[in-house]
A and B are shown apart, each in its own frame.
Chain A
């Protein structure tokens, strides 16, 4: 049988990753899966295993009273946060891509959250109370919202409002990604559209959005994973606590992490199915 040329090229190009994955990631993954099937203890004599099958997985659902609760809270939270972050990032990126004065300065300012949110600096700032804007009076806004909107909607909005600063801080990466994607659009395309009588609104839907659509998918993926795996996420904290818990131990924590990863993976799949590019519909 003759191996197709494209197959060889493909494998040559992904070879570094493949070696790294099989060598450095796959093995720890399998190991951690094995941990999750065991009651595992770290003793001074080394690791001690008692095989328990899928008991740990059952116990995650049946015994841990926080897991389901936190999972639900997390799901609702991400469902609200992800679209807000991505839409917000897109708006900011488009503003920054325009001819504004002090472009370099603005772009540097909007890069700050990338630096700050990924480092220990953010914890220091939160401790100082420097991430909250003191001038906004929350109570006034909330009563205003309650007066205008029905109660359920107002509560969602006020939740959002409480988180708005955090959301702003966690959208730095997304803004830059969109900015990079916007750079790829040929300005002549807009000019041509304008001459043909297209409005800015139409340009946005017909030129900008289709071009950056692939990056929207990436931003959704990144946002979900960074929210899911951030150290501030209660589920991660829960996993961490269980890891060093005397009665539960590493095996239980591994099972919980795998369960959680599968659920997040399922969410990712949903996002992918909605936002993937359909080949037949691609404009040429």
Chain B
């Protein structure tokens, strides 16, 4: 309720000529509008429910992050001090300095970027093409391929790891970035099935008449893919890019298997994080003179560094969620 309407209400209430019944009626109406809203305005109750749900659940997600962040800002003294829980006694960033050097951030960040960015780009592009093929055309054996694609997603990947690794090393893919880019290029990257399914469902929503109209106007398949299908599936491209990026970024098992075990110099932040303790001990050996032991604060600082790039990427990409639809100018259905 705005101040203006509140003052207007006061004027009404101070009016002596008005009978009490009318006043009560007005108040009732105002309160109702305030609580339940009218026309397009949402009422206070609805807003309250929305914000409390968002804040409550957001808090669940934010809590460990805050905990992590706060712990990373605490010096050893603060960590041991039971009276200090949430607010560090001083602005302490030494943990970050140490974690930064232990993680070997610059080369590791470069490695992470390479492993996350290039396969993701290929994976999303190929998934959109394949998804379009499945969604738009009818061809013999389509159901069989589709079924096999989904079944290959269901088989526990752990069991395929060994034969897959042998195949990859026979093909000479291990030990370089191509262990990630080649499968992505052939639509077999990380969780590629789910991306193909996302595009499949998005492309199927585009009405067939739109393609037919384009074909009448002389567009070939490639033109109608880029000019009609792609612009209408921009949200799908954004989520696919995000998921793929995050999943490749967080992948440690395959990275260790394909890259680290065979001597390469590509390392990722997440792998560095896994070896955090050993690296720390070799970099800051504990001597009797300086009791340099790894503590929670340093470990948490390392974790914060490892997820920070993802958060920044997301924060800038999420605004396209809203803008994309407005920009296309085509409306579906």
A: residues with CB less than 8 A from B are 4, 6-7, 9-14, 16-21, 23-29, 31-32, 35, 91-92, 95-96, 98, 100, 104, 106-116, 118-121, 124-125, 128, 130-131, 133, 165, 168-169, 173, 176-177, 179-181, 183-184, 186, 188, 211, 214-215, 217-218, 221-222, 225, 228-229, 236, 239-240, 243, 250, 253-254, 257-258, 260-261, 264-265, 268, 284
Q: Is the CB of B246 within 8 A of A118?
A: yes
Q: Is the CB of B186 within 8 A of A108?
A: no
Interface residues on B, range: 35 or more
Q: How far is the CA of A254 from the CA of B325 in the complex (A)?
A: 46
Instruction: Tell me the number of A-to-B contacts counted with CB atoms below 8 Å.
Output: 261
Q: Is the CB of A186 within 8 A of B151?
A: no
Contacts of A221 in B (CB 8 A): 150, 194, 197
15 more A-B residue pairs beyond the given contacts A109-B61, A225-B153, A253-B159, with a C-beta to C-beta distance below 8 A:
A6-B138, A7-B137, A10-B137, A10-B142, A28-B160, A29-B160, A100-B50, A100-B51, A107-B321, A109-B58, A116-B307, A179-B239, A214-B204, A225-B194, A260-B156
- Distance in Å: Cβ of A251 to nearest Cβ of chain B: 11
Nearest B-chain residue to A228, judged by Cβ:
B154
State which of A114, A119, A261 has its C-beta within 8 Å of the C-beta of B156: A261
Q: How far is the CA of A6 from the CA of B139 in the complex (A)?
A: 7
Q: Is the CB of B325 within 8 A of A236?
A: no
State which of A21, A100, A119 has its C-beta within 8 Å of the C-beta of B270: A119
Q: Is the CB of B318 within 8 A of A108?
A: yes
- Distance in Å: Cβ of A283 to nearest Cβ of chain B: 8
**Known contacts A10-B137, A168-B57, A188-B331; A27 and B167 CB within 8 A of each other:** yes
- Distance in Å: Cβ of B156 to nearest Cβ of chain A: 5
Q: Is the CB of A179 within 8 A of B270?
A: no
Contacts of B151 in A (CB 8 A): 261, 265
Q: How far is the CA of A176 from the CA of B235 in the complex (A)?
A: 10
B109 within 8 A of A: no
B18 within 8 A of A: no
Q: How far is the CA of A109 from the CA of B60 in the complex (A)?
A: 10
Contacts of B167 in A (CB 8 A): 24, 27-28
**Known contacts A110-B61, A120-B252, A180-B238; A218 and B194 CB within 8 A of each other:** yes
Q: How far is the CA of A169 from the CA of B73 in the complex (A)?
A: 25
Nearest A-chain residue to B233, judged by Cβ:
A184
**Known contacts A10-B142, A108-B318, A112-B61; A17 and B149 CB within 8 A of each other:** yes
Interface of B is mostly: helix
State which of B53, B155, B299, B318 has its C-beta within 8 Å of the C-beta of A104: B318
Nearest B-chain residue to A267, judged by Cβ:
B154
Q: How far is the CA of A118 from the CA of B129 in the complex (A)?
A: 26
- Distance in Å: Cβ of B189 to nearest Cβ of chain A: 9
Residues 190-214 of B contacting A (Cβ, < 8 Å): 192, 194, 196-198, 201-202, 204-205, 207
B: residues with CB less than 8 A from A are 50-51, 53-54, 57-58, 60-65, 67-68, 126, 129-130, 132-134, 136-140, 142, 145, 148-160, 162-164, 167-168, 182-183, 185-188, 192, 194, 196-198, 201-202, 204-205, 207, 221, 232, 235-236, 238-239, 242-243, 246-247, 249-250, 252, 270, 273-274, 296, 299, 303, 306-307, 310-311, 314-315, 318-319, 321-322, 324-325, 331-333
Q: How far is the CA of A250 from the CA of B192 in the complex (A)?
A: 26
Q: Is the CB of B235 within 8 A of A184?
A: yes
State which of A32, A95, A98, A215 has its C-beta within 8 Å of the C-beta of B160: A32
State which of B163, B185, B307, B318 has its C-beta within 8 Å of the C-beta of A31: B163
Closest 7 pairs between A and B when the two form their complex, measured CB to CB: A13-B133, A20-B186, A10-B137, A17-B187, A10-B139, A119-B250, A180-B235
Q: Is the CB of B54 within 8 A of A106?
A: yes
